[in-house]
Structure 1
Amino acid sequence: MDDYKNIYQKNGPIIYPGKIDSLKAFAGKNRVMLTGLFTSDPKITKYTVYWNSRQDSIVVPVKRTKNVDTVKTIISNLPEGIASFEVRTSDTEGHISIPVNIAANVYGALYQSSLLNRGISDAAIQPDGSALIIWADVNKDAGVKFMHIRYADNNDKTHDTLVVSSPTAMVTRLPNFKIGKSLSYRTAFLPEATAIDQFYTDYQSRSVKADVTKLYISNTGPFTRGAFDGNRWGILAAPWVTNATVINHSGYGGYATDSGGSLVMESGWSGSPNIINGKIYQTVTLPAGNYIFQVNNYTEALDPVYVVVASGNTLPDISSLSTALSFKRFSSKLYTDEVIQVPFTLTQSQAVSLGFLSTMQSGNQYWRVTAVSLLSN
């Protein structure tokens, strides 16, 4: 009854070495790491890993000990997608084990292209001089691990800071942040919790909002005067420049005692002359960056009044208003308090004039500004 054995066991019984145990595969960037254990069969001398439908393989020598041996190998230069692996062991006599199979994800350029830097909801200088960064929420499964931030402090020292990500309600404080400077940051992603490689976005610049008024402009409200008529009208103190058409109250104008000291234009009342291309401004040199010229005003003006930011040492006439870097008109509604913001961008350090432009010749009209400020953004 055992005659059939001679057909299938001409060379003796078939022997299988011990197979690799606890085989695991860990995803990576165009690579996969395989780990496993050898718990028995001291005769094992190597194992072979096959992939790509067995068209590719690698042989890894094994030096067994009397204990449980842990082995690890990395398969590189893999295409993005799912990779399947077959592992077989061999012993000193050339016997080959039964296969152990496993699959893993491989990440690459396609995954990299899908990554976006974590958003920043707001970034602003705080009263203590720190920059407060409020991060946009992310899904906890998005794979965001940390943000790598670079910034300069008030001593021009560059800092590289890593902040570990939390999905929601995350804020970061950067101490002693230099006002007027931007930060740059990138985001690190781990595509799977056990992946062996992290992926990074490109560095991205982010401006930090700050009130830079005191750094660049002065006499910002309540406004101070130079010459004064002893009653209500005066001329704004430096560095404000007031052109002659605004000085239309018996040699005074541009300043009034209203609201504790305001920047003012008025025409019509008490026979005060019309104002043609009236200009009040100050000129400063600003570094490259994004800015907002902010104005607190009240208006009874009938004709257009403009808040203007212009290159150079003066403001343009109304006929050339389009040459300004940026401008915005006061509200046309009478008896209105409002805050006007005029954003502008400088690509290089340059002189700019910040101020007000109006032609007022339609009867009695008046407007005042109680405060101005300059914000970096």
Structure 2
Amino acid sequence: MNRNIIIFFLLLLTVAVASCSKWDEYKQYTENGETRYVGKMDLVETFSGRLRIKMTALLPADPRITKTKITWNFGNDSVVFPISKGSGADTFKQIINITEGVVSFNIVNYDAEGNRSMTETVSGTSYGSKYESGLTNRPITRAELLPNGTTEVVWDSFDSTSGAKGAWLIYTTTGNKADSVYVPIRTTGTTTIPNLKLGTLLTERTLYLPTSTCIDTFYAAAQTIPVKSDVTSLYLSNTGPGFQRGTYDGNRWGTLGTPWNTNAAAKNKSGYGGYSADEGGVINWETWNNSPVIDGIVYQVTSAPLPAGTYTVSFTEYSEIQANSSVYCVAAAGSNGIPVLANLTTALGSVALYNGATIGATSPSQSDTRSFSFTISAPQYVSLGFLGNIVGSGNPGSYFQVKKIQLYSN
């Protein structure tokens, strides 16, 4: 019995000590035993922004409140908002400008006599240049202006949990006006732009919300996207399929028609060469019957200077070129033609045709599409053509066809 009484009194003592501790915290709001504090903020929330936060709260139903003081940075920064209250609860909504980062706010209400409320503490996060500098644009695998006038933009995979919400594609229309299209991040596959002007670029800016409730939008740095476009018809002609001839032997061999130029070394068939009537007209050399080609060249010059930029030359071929011979598709600066084999390194770019046939045989042969790219830093004319060095001492000799050539602006 005595033991239970002792335990009971120990519990009373513990409660009394705790009550005194609470009173010590509370008595700063009292004077002469009379409570003098005002109501504190309730349901405080912060919403992230660009070098700012939005703070909302519920003001208590205390008509004495005249201002709210919010401090942060260990009290070194503060802002005061005047409060005009009625008798009921009101909503508090304010924008607070802060530096980038996470900030802890202390919120205190005051009445006209300087009496304060208990402190309400809340944290908030602002974002700025540090956050924005790390943002990346949604990757694009291909942007191409098609012959029908539409532009296809093919999107690569992207982390949709990164905060990205979508991307703006900004472009120049065929009517020389600035336009744009917004593509939500959930869009996959291909986006089509109906009226992008040939020879112009896309600009992409991906927008982000670092949190779902952020009050400001952030953007990745603007990125220029090259648009691949077929500019063959703008700068070249007689490019196949069905190459037009200039001269013809009435049977099979000939020379290419304008605007192609053919040097003497290319005419390995009794004054004809570089063209055959096969497949409706192709660029061709054949070296059967001891008719070799040594630095044979056919080329044409662009009809106008190509604007500065990167270009791709693409062509379709069928080849029985033997391993001891070579044919190159070549692009060279200027209007004086393409170089011979010894000077091939001076060209803007080149690619060899397939030459895997066994010497003295027509196989293995190959049909494919080949391409190469080149870049020019200023507008200039460009010569584009084919350079052949083909052994012709045996039967069968080498043989190839170029069926079509295309020039793309990248």
TM score, norm. by length of structure 2: 0.84
1:354 aligned onto 2:377: no
The within-5 A match list for 1:143-162 is 143-159=163-179, 161-162=180-181
The within-5 A match list for 1:1-377 is 11-66=32-87, 68-78=89-99, 80-159=100-179, 161-167=180-186, 169=188, 171-221=190-240, 222-267=242-287, 269-272=288-291, 274-284=292-302, 285-302=305-322, 303-313=325-335, 314-334=337-357, 335-363=365-393, 364-377=397-410
Q: Deviations over 1:234-272 (max 9, x none)?
A: 1111011111111122221111111111111223x2343
- Work out whether residues 290 and 343 of structure 1, in 8 Å CA contact, stay in contact via their aligned partners in 2: yes
Rounded Cα–Cα distance in structure 2 between residues aligned with 1:277 and 1:170: 47
Shift of the 98–252 alpha-carbon distance from structure 1 to 2, 3 Å rule, reads same
Rounded Cα–Cα distance in structure 2 between residues aligned with 1:127 and 1:366: 32
Measure how far apart 1:68 and its partner are. Answer: 4.1
| Structure 2: unaligned runs, 5 residues or longer | 1-19, 358-364
- Work out whether residues 17 and 95 of structure 1, in 8 Å CA contact, stay in contact via their aligned partners in 2: yes
- Work out whether residues 150 and 184 of structure 1, in 8 Å CA contact, stay in contact via their aligned partners in 2: yes
Q: Which amino acid aligns with 1:351?
A: Y
Q: Deviations over 1:254-293 (max 9, x none)?
A: 11111111111223x2343x22211111110311222211
Shift of the 307–198 alpha-carbon distance from structure 1 to 2, 3 Å rule, reads same
Rounded Cα–Cα distance in structure 2 between residues aligned with 1:259 and 1:14: 103
Q: Which amino acid aligns with 1:283?
A: V
Q: Which moved more, 1:81-90 or 1:28-37?
A: 28-37
Question: SS in structure 2 opposite 1:156?
Answer: coil
Q: Which amino acid aligns with 2:41?
A: I
Measure how far apart 1:300 and its partner are. Answer: 2.1
Identity %: 39
Q: Deviations over 1:17-62 (max 9, x none)?
A: 1212221111122322212222411111101101112232221111
Measure how far apart 1:168 and its partner are. Answer: 5.2
Rounded Cα–Cα distance in structure 2 between residues aligned with 1:225 and 1:43: 98
Measure how far apart 1:11 and its partner are. Answer: 3.0
Measure how far apart 1:65 and its partner are. Answer: 3.4
Q: Which amino acid aligns with 2:374?
A: F
Q: Which amino acid aligns with 1:21?
A: D
Question: SS in structure 1 opposite 2:38?
Answer: coil
Shift of the 46–123 alpha-carbon distance from structure 1 to 2, 3 Å rule, reads same
Rounded Cα–Cα distance in structure 2 between residues aligned with 1:288 and 1:308: 18
Q: Which amino acid aligns with 2:339?
A: P
- Work out whether residues 43 and 58 of structure 2, in 8 Å CA contact, stay in contact via their aligned partners in 1: yes
Alignment: residue pair count = 368
Q: Which amino acid aligns with 1:116?
A: T
Rounded Cα–Cα distance in structure 2 between residues aligned with 1:66 and 1:288: 72
Rounded Cα–Cα distance in structure 2 between residues aligned with 1:184 and 1:140: 21
Q: Which moved more, 1:41-50 or 1:125-134?
A: 125-134
Q: Which amino acid aligns with 1:59?
A: V
Q: Deviations over 1:142-176 (max 9, x none)?
A: 111232222112222221x2414223515322221
Q: Which amino acid aligns with 1:316?
A: P
Q: Which amino acid aligns with 2:340?
A: D
- Work out whether residues 205 and 219 of structure 2, in 8 Å CA contact, stay in contact via their aligned partners in 1: yes
Flag the structure with larger Rg: 2
Rounded Cα–Cα distance in structure 1 between residues aligned with 2:79 and 2:403: 78
- Work out whether residues 137 and 170 of structure 1, in 8 Å CA contact, stay in contact via their aligned partners in 2: no
Question: SS in structure 2 opposite 1:294?
Answer: strand
Measure how far apart 1:67 and its partner are. Answer: 5.2
Question: SS in structure 1 opposite 2:108?
Answer: strand
Rounded Cα–Cα distance in structure 1 between residues aligned with 2:31 and 2:223: 70
Question: SS in structure 1 opposite 2:57?
Answer: strand
Question: SS in structure 1 opposite 2:224?
Answer: strand
Measure how far apart 1:81 and its partner are. Answer: 2.7
Question: SS in structure 1 opposite 2:171?
Answer: strand
Measure how far apart 1:191 and its partner are. Answer: 0.8
Question: SS in structure 1 opposite 2:161?
Answer: coil
Measure how far apart 1:127 and its partner are. Answer: 4.8
Q: CA RMSD in A?
A: 2.1
Q: Which amino acid aligns with 1:280?
A: V
- Work out whether residues 167 and 185 of structure 2, in 8 Å CA contact, stay in contact via their aligned partners in 1: no
Rounded Cα–Cα distance in structure 1 between residues aligned with 2:55 and 2:274: 79
Q: Which moved more, 1:277-286 or 1:23-32?
A: 23-32
- Work out whether residues 136 and 168 of structure 1, in 8 Å CA contact, stay in contact via their aligned partners in 2: no
Shift of the 65–332 alpha-carbon distance from structure 1 to 2, 3 Å rule, reads same
